[in-house]
Structure 1
Amino acid sequence: MVIPGEAPFFSHTITDRAGTHERPSRILLVDDDAPLRRTLPHVLAQPGRRFEECGTVADAIARLEHNRYDLILLDYRLPDGTGLDVLDWLANAGRPEAVVMISGEDAIDAAIGALRRGADDYVRKPYHVAQLQRAVQNVLHKALLEQANGVMSQRLKSSERLHRYLVESSPDFIFTLNPSGVFNYVNPRVEAMLGYTREQLLGKAFTTLLLDDDAIRVDVLLREAARGKRIHQVLELRLRRCDPNTGQPGASTVTVTLNAVPIHGRGGDDNNAAPAGIYGVARDISERKRAEEIITFQAYHDQLTHLPNRILFKDRLELAIAQAQRRGGLLAVMFIDVDRFKRVNDTYGHSEGDRLLRVLAARLKETLRKGDTLARLGGDEFTVLLPDIAHPEDAETIAQKIHAALAAPFQLEHGDFHVTASIGIAVFPRDGDVAEQLTQHADIAMYQIKREGKNGFRFFDPDLNAHYRERIGLENDLRSALQRNEFSLCYQPQISMATGRLVGLEALLRWQHPTHGQIGPTAFIQVAEEVGLIREISHWVVDTATAQLADWHARGHAALRMSINLSSQDFDRDDTIDRVADCVARYGLAQDRFEVEITERVMMRDTADVIARIRRLRECGVGISIDDFGTGYSALAYLQKFPVSSLKIDRSFVNNLNGQGTQPIISAITGIARGFGLHLVAEGVERPEQARHLKDMGCDTMQGYLFSRPISADDVNRWLDAPPLPPGALSITPPPQQA
């Protein structure tokens, strides 16, 4: 029951420091009246209260030395002193226990003395039970409030210390501004980040740290915050570092993200109330920005030359096309390929090749205008964008400048190296109106220069595109020609004028294309070499030719000779040479019956590896025939180096037998053959008078349309089974079925 005007009774419990558990209130009764000590716990009993008792000052102090209490009910008169002695002990010990003094003294001085010494209340005997209960209740309630207040105060102090530590130790630049935007607090981070002392910034406007182009954006942000608006925008800007010489903001900057919010006063976060200031956090993102710049640069630039790469070139080309379309202007795309660059890597190593590319890129860049773009697509391929040209001839002028710039040799570690380049040019809108098309057409034009001998430039021609598409189709069909068994060999007969017999054959490759019909080697061998198919084709030719020759030998024509043509690339590796040697050994072909024809182009390479491979063929019994002998200026010099077994007089000499100087050349060739003991064949014989002149000059074996076109193996069988021509006969009638 609660009495009006009186404090209600509470169940007082004390919260521990963690604030999660409660413990009972401990009360110490100090009175020399034993019956009273036994009675009071019953009178004052409440849930959560525990009582202890003693009867002297000494006992009370002894208990206090070992225990703590929430309340002491202290009698004034005790056998060994007064309650004031206990109060004095509590005061000297700095103890927080609450005390209610109970006394029978009538003098007011006793009450005053007790309250001055720290008693929380004073109850005079005799007292009403309710009076004592109220006194105890009030004191315990007061103690509980004080305890809660003390805990809260301690927590606030701890929180303040923690927050101050966090702000002072933050890796971010934290500051506060007054409503005018002037610093009134900065944390120590400003010294490391911007080079200012705290004292240098206090009292200065925040805008003094900003660059002009950032000041407008920050001014808007600060004005919004000063009006109390909570800003959710985070700005990225640059803060000026302190110039150590002047102590003022300098040219050096730090890139930061800035977040600013208003500081509200007692009114709280009220949008209608003016804030007391602005709280700001600036985070240094300079390293992140540098990393982003590096990543962005690497994504759009070539790492070796630092030129734009394919992606950036395409972006710039598309932009230039859009601008040219709006203005009705022209632009050009150049595709540049360095000639013979592979030789640098193969001879001097890739580090020298990289060095050459860097120097080459610098030279190319010097030939261009300020607005032009030079890009490296990869390897030794470069592209150039020439925007805003007045005439297509402007691109030609740039191409000439590029060739002139490459005229001087490049200095490599192992000596000078002369560089040439093949350049293809496509012009917008004549040669295409999209980026991919212009680049492709420039590439096609460059490829045509490569085919024509390199070291030049040319504009794209629509006919080139058709040729290019045909070539791509040819290349795709060529890849599956072996699997589809589309290759075949035909044979050009070689006739001995002395005996009238068929003494030799030149095996010629043919491709029976499914749509284009029969195709000769001149139409596809170069393609096969470029796409890496020549090895498989050469192996097929070797296998087929040696097997066919072995069959004819087995049929009784052991003196029959056969020659095949190999690609110059076959002499760059051992596998095709091994294939020839293995086939000759497998079929047991006699010495020099199977020949490999080589051109002077192969001889002029004159490398130790090429000579070693040719010598290996000769050691295996394979003959070596020099095709088109006499057409090269150095042929005679190489006869002593290469173990040659046959010479072939080129058809150009045969066609021009009556030309000035031709007959002496043929006479010289026949003399050389006799002097070196070489077999001699004249090719391209088409008229009887040619055969007579050649025979008179000492050439016995001939091939050409006079005798037969290239024929199939079955037709060769008919030749072999037919009777020989009369000695000296110059024609056959009728010829066998032609292939």
Structure 2
Amino acid sequence: MGNLPRSRGDFAQEKDSVQRILMVDDEPRLRQSYRALLGDLCSDVVECADGRSAILALENNHFDVVLLDLKLPDMSGLDVLKWANQARQSVVVVVVSADTHIDSAIGALRGGACEFVRKPCDPEQFLRAVNNALHRSRLERRYARMRARLKQSERLHRFLVEQSPDLIYTLDEEGRFVFINARLEALLGFTRDELVGQPYTLLVHEDDRERARYAFAERRTGYRASENIEIRLRCKNDGFRHFDNRFVVAMLSASGIYDKLEAASEQRFVGTYGVARDITERKRAEEKISFQAFHDLLTQLPNRVLFRDRLDLAVTQAQRRNGLVGVMFLDLDRFKLVNDTYGHAEGDRLLKNFALRLKACLRAGDTLSRLGGDEFTILLPDLAHAYDAAGVAEKIIEALQEPFKLGGQDFRATVSIGIAVYPRDGDSVEMLISNADLAMYEVKNRGKNGFSYYSAEMSEDHRERLSLEIDLRRAIENREFVLHYQPQICLQSQRVVGMEGLVRWQHPELGLLSPARFIELAEEVGLIHHISDWVLEEGCRQLALWHAAGHKELRLALNLSARDFERKDLVERIAGAPAAFGIPASCVEVEITETLLLDDVEGVIETVHRLRKTGVRVSIDDFGMRYSSLNYLRRFPVSSVKIDQSFVRDLGRDQGAESIIEAIVGIARGFGLHLIAEGVETGDQERMLRELGCVEMQGYRFGRPAPADEALAAALQAV
């Protein structure tokens, strides 16, 4: 619960007698923490773990203060409050709860709780709240004693009125102050001399004067008299108090005063008696709770609830006027990289500054909201033309050209924006947001940093993608995958040295699907680990069969997804597969891409080191195509590299391809790495590769990917 405050003595003042506290919370450790915090503030503390025990304790004992949790195992804390009010329990209640529901918080305050402290609470705030409650309880107890003596002493009655925490007044029949207690000066800054003889309207906010006519200067009595009427009272010099800097919010109750005439049946109105209770702090708490319910606390922007409400209103108005409404769905590109690199504090700073840039691009009537994470939405009501939304998107992209400062360095943020326009792209809140979201993902798929309008084709693609995802989950359960193998040939020894396992999906309706149709989807929805586990197991099983058949020189190459490197047990799973089938770990080679280096260089290098220690070989696939770095290659303990097929394809047509391959061959020799060229399809390509120093190859010239037996037979025939 944080560090203890400097001194409990600051809160342990004005103790005129031993006071009792009832602590109602179902968590023993919290009760123990509260008791430790209270210390010598209150030595008599009773604990209850549920609502029924609390009610029983209140029925049979007197307590000055109740510390009440709202979420109890048998009933709500609000029910305990309701019972205490009905039973007229003279106890001060402080609600200490983690309940974030706005109705619960406001209900607690309106139900009579003097304060609402949100868990986890700051110790100093907690002690202050308890001290205030104890102080209030002492005051109420003191006032209760005074009220009992009023029957015997008018002087005591006067003292009670003067010391009341409420504003007590009387008016004459013309609405002028006759009496007002000393609370006036502390609450509003006026002295009694300044108000006595003055009309009550001097204190009332100008917008509340009509309501005050029937409440402040009440003429009715009994049950018809005014009770709990909210009125704003003006402070002296418009700046005495802090709420709105000028006004105090008061809950007013008033009743007419009548004097009996000689004829018993007649009464004469002589004035009004009223009590005004300061509820400024309560109103402030209610407004704060209300703000938190409809706004994002980090950026102070409207949240999802408020955005949907405003969008619904904008659509309704557009229906009446035949107008256009634009909805933009924005996603900050590469935000996860920011959090991972700079930390969440810097990530939060980026989100706040990003929100400020966005707001500067919008009109006064537009609404910018944060849905959560790095997702934002924009409402553009009253568009003149659908293409006006594109102008806003271009303005946002232009505003992001200036870099942000993150960790003392420049960071250039980009954003993907999807746009939907009412009524063209949907006639409901849900449809407009959903279609804008689809358009945003279309931008992501195209490479990010741009915007796109929604089109009907996107929904069709989305439905197909959802259907394929459902089928993919079923395929994992039913093991609908198959491995095809493509041989790797050594021309120097004229033999088959390896097989690369390539996964296929035998879809029951769509037939045999290549990895291009489902691997990216599996990575996106978090299913790639299951497929990788199956590929590893099936590949090692087949390799064990080949070894048993006498082909012990064969090694197996398998591809790994970048997402696989997020697994903490990756090394154990890879090393465990060949061991389970009784084949040497050195006969298994996993292929990784250079793209992995973008996300977590140090983590990938450490994982590769651990893999190599198990004996498993590691190859860099598509070498030379992306982010090749000799420094990375020096630090990577890889066993081989594969020349990308794009270079092989350009042999004989592009002099640069030959030079690149020659350089890669030199690099491999310099680092002592095994080298293989993929995508070899013609005799000329084979000849040129041999002349450049590459003797191991893979491609259609030696065999297409095929089931295990067919692949091996074709490879043996090729050599």
Distance 1:606 1:230 in 2: 74
Partner letter of residue 192 of structure 1?
A
TM-aligned CA distance change 1:416 to 1:636, over 3 Å: closer
Alignment length, in residue pairs?
568
Contact 1:228/1:275, CA 8 A, preserved across alignment? no
Q: Distance in 1 between matches of 2:469 and 2:624?
A: 34
Q: CA deviation at 1:552?
A: 1.0
- Please report how far the alpha carbon of residue 444 of structure 1 lies from its aligned counterpart in structure 2 after TM superposition: 1.6
The structure-2 alpha-carbon separation of the partners of 1:178 and 1:577, relative to structure 1 and needing over 3 Å to count, comes to: same
The letter of the residue matching 1:384 is I
* Residue 390 in structure 1 maps to residue 351 in structure 2: no
After superposition, give the CA deviation of every residue in 1:477-508 in whole Å (9 maximum; x if it has no partner): 33343222222212123344566644321101
Q: Are 1:240 and 2:240 an aligned pair?
A: no
- Give the letter aligned to residue 175 of structure 2: G
**Cα distance in 1 between the residues matched to 2:441 and 2:588:** 37
- Residues 49-128 of structure 1 mapped to structure 2, 5 A cutoff: none
C-alpha distance 710-725 of structure 1, shift in aligned 2 (>3 A): closer
Is residue 375 of structure 2 the alignment partner of residue 374 of structure 1? no
Question: Partner residue of 1:458?
Answer: 452
Mapped contact 2:648–2:679 kept (Cα < 8 A): yes
Q: How does 1:563-574 map to 2 (within 5 A)?
A: 563-574=557-568
Shift of 1:223: 7.3
- Partner amino acid, structure 1, of 2:652: N
What's 1:425 paired with?
Answer: 419
Do structure 1's residue 640 and structure 2's residue 630 form an aligned pair? Answer: no
How far apart, in 2, do the equivalents of 1:270 and 1:443 lie? 78
Sequence identity percentage: 53
Q: Name the residue aligned to 1:112.
A: none
Structure 1 residue 316 corresponds to structure 2 residue 326: no
Structure 2 alignment gaps of length 5 or more:
1-147
1:352 alignment counterpart: 346
Task: Note the alpha carbon deviations across 1:517-546, whole angstroms, 9 max, x for none.
Answer: 332222222222223222232222222212
| SS of corresponding position for 2:211 | helix
Give the corresponding residue for 1:685: 680
- In the superposition, relative to structure 1, how do residues 696 and 237 fare at CA in structure 2: closer, same or farther (>3 Å)? same
Q: Does 1:447 align with 2:447?
A: no
Matched-pair contact (CA < 8 Å) for 1:627–1:647: yes
Instruction: Determine the structure 2 residue equivalent to 1:284.
Output: 278
1:275 aligned onto 2:269: yes
SS in 1 for 2:364: coil
1:205 deviates by: 0.6
- Aligned residue number for residue 15 of structure 1: none
Query: Which protein is bigger by CA-based radius of gyration?
Result: 1
Aligned partners of 1:498 and 1:349: how far apart in 2?
Answer: 52
Is 1:725 paired with 2:717?
A: yes
Please give the secondary structure, in 2, of the residue aligned with 1:432. coil
CA apart distance, 1:475: 2.8
Counterpart CA distance in 1 for 2:454 and 2:608 is 42
Which digits, 9 at most, give the CA deviation of each residue in 1:313-364, with x for residues without a partner?
Answer: 1111111111111111112111121122222322232222222222222222
Letter paired with 1:378: G
Residue by residue over 1:255-294, the C-alpha shift from the partner in whole angstroms, topping out at 9 and shown as x without a partner, is: 1122232222216999985522222222211111111111
Structure 1 residue 255 and structure 2 residue 249: aligned? Answer: yes
Cα 1:316/1:504, change in 2 over 3 Å: same
Matched, 1:434 2:428: yes
Q: TM-score, normalised by structure 2?
A: 0.72
| Gap change, CA 1:337 and 1:432, over 3 Å in 2 | same
Kept in 1: contact 2:489–2:496 (CA 8 A):
yes
Q: Contact 1:348–1:414 (CA<8 Å) still a contact in 2? A: no
Q: What does 1:465-614 correspond to in 2, within 5 Å?
A: 465-497=459-491, 501-587=495-581, 589-590=583-584, 592-603=586-597, 607-614=601-608
Preserved CA contact (<8 Å) 1:226 1:275: no
Deviation at 1:553, TM superposition (A): 0.9
Tell me how far 1:568 sits from its aligned partner.
1.7
Inter-partner Cα distance in structure 1 for 2:552 and 2:192:
106
Moved >6 Å (runs of 4+) = 226-229, 268-272
1:208-244 CA distances to partner (integer Å, 9 max, x unpaired)? Answer: 2122211122224467727999434643121111239
Paired AA for residue 195 in structure 1 = G
**Aligned 8 A contact 2:261 2:268 in 1:** no
- The match for 1:189 is 183
Evaluate the alpha carbon distance shift between residue 657 and residue 193 of structure 1 in structure 2; reply closer, same or farther with a 3 A threshold.
Answer: same
Match of 1:40? none
Report deviation, 1:660.
Answer: 2.2
| Cα distance in 2, alignment partners of residues 413 and 434 from structure 1 | 42
Distance 1:503 1:355, change over 3 A: same
Task: Specify which of 710, 717, 720 is matched with residue 705 of structure 2.
Answer: 710
Aligned partner letter, 1:264: Y
Question: Secondary structure of 2:537's match?
Answer: helix
Question: Does the alignment pair 1:411 with 2:405?
Answer: yes
CA distance in 2, matches of 1:397, 1:464: 22
Contact kept in structure 2, 1:228 and 1:271, CA below 8 Å: no
Correspondence 1:161-176 to 2 at 5 A: 163-176=157-170
Q: Which residue of 1 aligns with 2:42?
A: none
Moved more, 428-437 or 518-527: 518-527
Provide the residue aligned with 1:205 in structure 2.
199
User: Partner amino acid for 2:410?
Assistant: D
1:653 lines up with 2:623 in the alignment: no
Superposed displacement of residue 254, structure 1: 0.8
Shift of the 726–533 alpha-carbon distance from structure 1 to 2, 3 Å rule, reads closer
**Residues 610 and 210 (structure 1 numbering): CA distance in 2 closer, same or farther, change over 3 Å?**
same
RMSD: 3.3
- Counterpart for residue 231 of structure 1: 225
Aligned counterparts of 2:584 and 2:163: Cα–Cα separation in 1: 94
| 1:499–1:725 CA contact under 8 A, matched in 2 | no
Rate the CA distance shift 1:464–1:244 in 2: closer, same or farther, 3 A. Answer: closer
8 A Cα contact 1:177 1:184, kept in partner: yes
2:320 corresponds, among 308, 326, 340, to 326
Pair 1:196–1:533, CA change in 2 (3 A)? same
Give 1:399's aligned residue: 393
Q: CA offset at residue 452 of structure 1?
A: 2.0
What is the CA deviation profile of residues 376-432 of structure 1, one whole-angstrom value per residue up to 9, with x for unaligned ones?
A: 111121111111121222222222222222222222344333222222221111111
Q: Which amino acid in 2 is paired with 1:725?
A: Q
